[in-house]
């Protein structure tokens, strides 16, 4: 059985189970990661793969354009315990701000050397990591440019599925973005990540940021 088939069964099972579940309200570990809009450019599960390096595509020797970054973190439950085996998906625009989607009206050019999406599963310590590039901003409407951001979907049986977005600390567009400003301050701060120079052993000149994700557990209705 292929990885994709296993993944489809996992996600279908999660969706069916969630019909008969309700979200627990307990929160003894700070702010739960807030849900945010999925947006119109979710690529669909058939397009995801388990290669977590988005900076290169198979068969190409050319790296994607843009600032290389590593996004790492842990997925935690309401008691701050790491959650193993969580499916973490990311998708984003390339450095020009263009999504690899026929629905994206942005006239910017696609980057043929960028992967645009990937997925992984957390290890026993709840950890995940992706290598990617800082996406570009793009026009969302008249007089509204969305700040650079990365979309994230997180799912595992026993927890409410989470779709959110991660932003970059110090980005001026964060301060005028309708989607970010719709969040309460504490939740807003939880999705804005500070990127610093990567430690030794990672690509020279790259940056690294830590994005923790806190999930709400669920329980069966009586």
DSSP state of 28: -
Q: Are strands 149-155 and 87-91 parallel, antiparallel or unpaired?
A: antiparallel
pLDDT of the residue at 190: 96
Res 8 pLDDT > 80: no
pLDDT of the residue at 220: 57
Mean pLDDT calculated for residue range 148-164: 97
pLDDT of the residue at 31: 87
Are 122 and 84 within 8 A, CB to CB? yes
> Closest Cα to residue 138, out of 164, 101, 112?
101
Q: For residues 159-168, b (16+ Cβ closer than 10 Å) or e, as one string?
A: bbbbbbbbbb
Secondary structure of residue 174 in the 3-state scheme: helix
Q: Are strands 192-193 and 218-220 parallel, antiparallel or unpaired?
A: unpaired
Instruction: For the beta carbon of residue 119, count every other beta carbon within 10 angstroms.
Output: 21
pLDDT of the residue at 207: 98
- Per-chain mean pLDDT for the chain: 88
In degrees to the nearest 10, what's the CA dihedral of 197, 184, 177, 66? 20
Per cent of the chain over pLDDT 90 is 77
Q: Are strands 68-76 and 207-210 parallel, antiparallel or unpaired?
A: parallel
pLDDT of the residue at 167: 98
- More confident site: 142 or 84: 84
10 membership: H or E segment, kind and range: helix 3-18
Mean pLDDT calculated for residue range 77-93: 97
Of the pLDDT bands very low, low, confident and very high (cuts 50, 70, 90), residue 45 is: confident
Of the pLDDT bands very low, low, confident and very high (cuts 50, 70, 90), residue 28 is: low
């Amino acid at each position: 059985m292929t990885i994709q088939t296993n993944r489809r069964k996992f996600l279908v099972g999660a969706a069916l189970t969630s019909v008969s579940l309700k979200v627990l309200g307990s929160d003894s570990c700070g702010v739960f990661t807030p849900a945010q809009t999925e947006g119109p450019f979710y690529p669909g599960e058939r397009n995801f793969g388990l290669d977590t390096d988005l900076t290169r595509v198979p068969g190409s020797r050319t790296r994607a354009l843009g600032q290389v970054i590593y996004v790492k973190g842990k997925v935690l439950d309401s008691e701050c315990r790491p959650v193993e085996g969580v499916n973490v998906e990311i998708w984003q625009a390339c450095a020009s701000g263009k999504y690899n989607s026929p629905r994206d009206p942005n006239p910017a050019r696609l980057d043929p050397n960028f992967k645009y999406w990937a997925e992984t599963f957390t290890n026993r310590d709840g950890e995940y990591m992706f290598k990617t590039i800082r996406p570009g901003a793009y026009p969302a409407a008249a007089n509204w440019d969305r700040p650079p951001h990365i979309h994230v979907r997180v799912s595992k049986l026993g927890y409410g599925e989470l779709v959110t977005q991660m932003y970059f600390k110090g980005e001026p567009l964060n301060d005028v973005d309708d989607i970010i400003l719709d969040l309460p301050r504490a939740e807003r701060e939880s999705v804005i990540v500070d990127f610093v120079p990567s430690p030794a052993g990672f690509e020279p000149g790259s940056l690294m940021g830590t994005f923790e994700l806190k999930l709400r557990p669920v329980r069966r209705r009586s």
